[in-house]
Chains A and B, each alone.
Chain A
Amino acid sequence: MEWDWDFVRQIMPTLLEGVKITILATILGSVLAAVVGLVIALLRRSPNRLVSRPVAFIAEFIRGTPLLVQLYFIFYILPDFGILLPPLLAGVIGLGLHYGTYTAEVYRAGIDNVPRGQWEAAKACNLDARQTWMHIILPQAIPPMIPALANYFIAMFKETPLLSAITVLELMNQAKSVANTYYRYIEPMTLVGVFFLVISLFSVVLLRWLERRYGRVGE
């Protein structure tokens, strides 16, 4: 089998469509994971055990089961309960929930790293709980954890091919479909690898920059 540049040119527009969806899914999934992670981290700290315990259990459950299974659940089983989601939305929710349980741990560590004296100073300043979180704790906790969060977002990016299992037309799915149409696999699959590699490398450079910019605690 020989590498066919004409075939590459022919399938490129389709693959680029896939790249767009892959990047879109990653970005939306990352935003959702960032929010879900924060919510889980805060709820797990609730003094009310009826809140903190179930949240801890659910987070552990999601982290302990494969993303692929969860995607099937969201896309193929929820419709049985009347919840019918478009593929991309289902995929983003799956990615966001799954990675949210990981980013929750990042938030937890970041919040724990804020010295106890900051909580006490906030109390001595008579700030209420919401003001303490918004103005004192989170602004100090979040910058040092940005590199760790970005790391998970890169990992999430490389897992987006799983979305092809629920018919999202992301890069892997587009490549599969052209490959199945023309019975040529070498070009589409190689290009999938190249696209992921290039974007990953670019992300790693960005990550290094974030680490330099935010990675140092207490400055």
Chain B
Amino acid sequence: MAEPIVRIDSISKSFGAFKVLDGLSMQVMPGEKLALIGPSGSGKTTILRILMTLERIDSGHIEVEGEQLYHMSRGQALVPADERHLTKMRQKIGMVFQLFNLFPHKCVLDNVTLAPMLTKGVPKAEAHKRAMELLDMVGMADKARAMPAQLSGGQKQRVAIARALALSPKIMLFDEVTSALDPELVEEVLNVMRRLAEETDMTMLLVTHEMGFAHDFADRVLFFDRGRIVEEGKPEDIFRNPKQERTQSFLKKIIAAGHRV
């Protein structure tokens, strides 16, 4: 039995008086495709943001590849991680955002080459070559010299995926990556993610409202509500045969709102 690549141990997080995560624990296996679903405010996006170190946790522990994310050992004691440790840990993780967050002052190619050149010292020619391969994979090679403002939402998101892949993370986090897209642009982004799931053994965590996609894509679905995992299981069990009352009512609402399952 392999070791989990991510081990989350009773973490809590509050924004002011609002408790987003309440003693949450979960594990992710290497190569696993995980879909996090649930109502807004249930804490699923916060999990991704915490793994990307965009938010700090109030308590608990997270291990990535057997190493503490927010702590480091100094002798016998565990102390809060310093920036150097966080930088090292971040190399393992990449993230794609709901609002793309491309660098608007840089062309598509520079968006993809920037981080490898700056953070890993990859030579320019090599970074270019790799970036073009990735842009080709997401179907954006012909737009390498375009500026982000000239792209559609779907195109921006595909570039953002290439940018995250350029650092070769072990774990990719997808935070509602199709929520800001016009409906007709959703599929082109989902196709890229399907290919990624088929062609790589990357671990992928996906927060989504696309239940149909989650069903096909995920090995395991976690249903979140009020900062806890209410139910988890294989997609067919969660979507066809949810056991918990809260899961049932959430899925009913989502279907009523026109989402496919």
A126 touches B115 (CB 8 A): yes
Q: Is A128 an interface residue (CB 8 A)?
A: yes
Q: Is A131 an interface residue (CB 8 A)?
A: yes
**Residues of B contacting A117 with CB < 8 Å?**
97, 99, 101
Select which of B52, B114, B118, B164 is within 8 A of A123 by beta carbon: B52
**Residues of B contacting A80 with CB < 8 Å?**
none
Chief secondary structure at chain A's binding surface: helix
B104 touches A124 (CB 8 A): no
**Which A residues form the contact surface with B (CB < 8 A)?**
115, 117-118, 120-121, 123-129, 131, 135-136, 139-140, 218-219
Of B52, B87, B90, B115, chain A has the most CB atoms within 10 Å of the CB of B115
**Residues of B contacting A140 with CB < 8 Å?**
103-105
Select which of A118, A120, A126, A218 is within 8 A of B87 by beta carbon: A126
Q: How far is the CB of A134 from chain B (nearest CB, A)?
A: 9
Q: Is B215 an interface residue (CB 8 A)?
A: no
**Residues of A contacting B54 with CB < 8 Å?**
120, 123-124
A126 touches B91 (CB 8 A): yes
A120 touches B101 (CB 8 A): yes
A121 touches B104 (CB 8 A): no
Q: How far is the CB of B216 from chain A (nearest CB, A)?
A: 26
Question: How many A-B pairs fall under 8 Å by CB?
Answer: 58
Residues 60-95 of chain B: 1 if any A CB is under 8 Å from the residue's CB, otherwise 0? 000000000000000000000001000100110111
A117 to B115, CA, bound (A): 16
Q: Is B122 an interface residue (CB 8 A)?
A: no
Q: Is B53 an interface residue (CB 8 A)?
A: yes
A128 to B104, CA, bound (A): 19
Select which of A121, A135, A219 is within 8 A of B102 by beta carbon: A121
A136 to B119, CA, bound (A): 14
**Which B residues form the contact surface with A (CB < 8 A)?**
52-54, 83, 87, 90-91, 93-95, 97, 99, 101-105, 114-115, 118-119, 149, 163-164, 167
B104 touches A218 (CB 8 A): yes
Smallest CB gap from A123: residue in B:
B54
Q: How far is the CB of A139 from chain B (nearest CB, A)?
A: 5
Please provide the 6 A-B residue pairs with the shortest distance between their CB atoms, ordered closest to farther. Answer: A125-B115, A121-B101, A117-B101, A124-B95, A126-B90, A126-B119
Q: How far is the CB of A155 from chain B (nearest CB, A)?
A: 29
A121 to B163, CA, bound (A): 10
A135 touches B164 (CB 8 A): no
B163 touches A125 (CB 8 A): yes
**Residues of A contacting B149 with CB < 8 Å?**
218-219
A120 to B102, CA, bound (A): 11
A125 touches B105 (CB 8 A): no
**Residues of A contacting B99 with CB < 8 Å?**
117
**Residues of B contacting A136 with CB < 8 Å?**
103
A135 touches B114 (CB 8 A): yes
A126 to B52, CA, bound (A): 10
Select which of A118, A126, A139, A218 is within 8 A of B167 by beta carbon: A126
Q: How far is the CB of A141 from chain B (nearest CB, A)?
A: 10
Smallest CB gap from B149: residue in A:
A219
B118 touches A131 (CB 8 A): yes
Whether A124 contacts B102 in the complex (CB less than 8 A), given A117-B97, A135-B114, A135-B118, comes out as: no
B91 touches A118 (CB 8 A): no
A124 to B102, CA, bound (A): 11
**Residues of A contacting B115 with CB < 8 Å?**
125-127
**Residues of A contacting B52 with CB < 8 Å?**
120, 123-124
B53 touches A123 (CB 8 A): yes
Whether A121 contacts B105 in the complex (CB less than 8 A), given A126-B167, A135-B114, comes out as: no
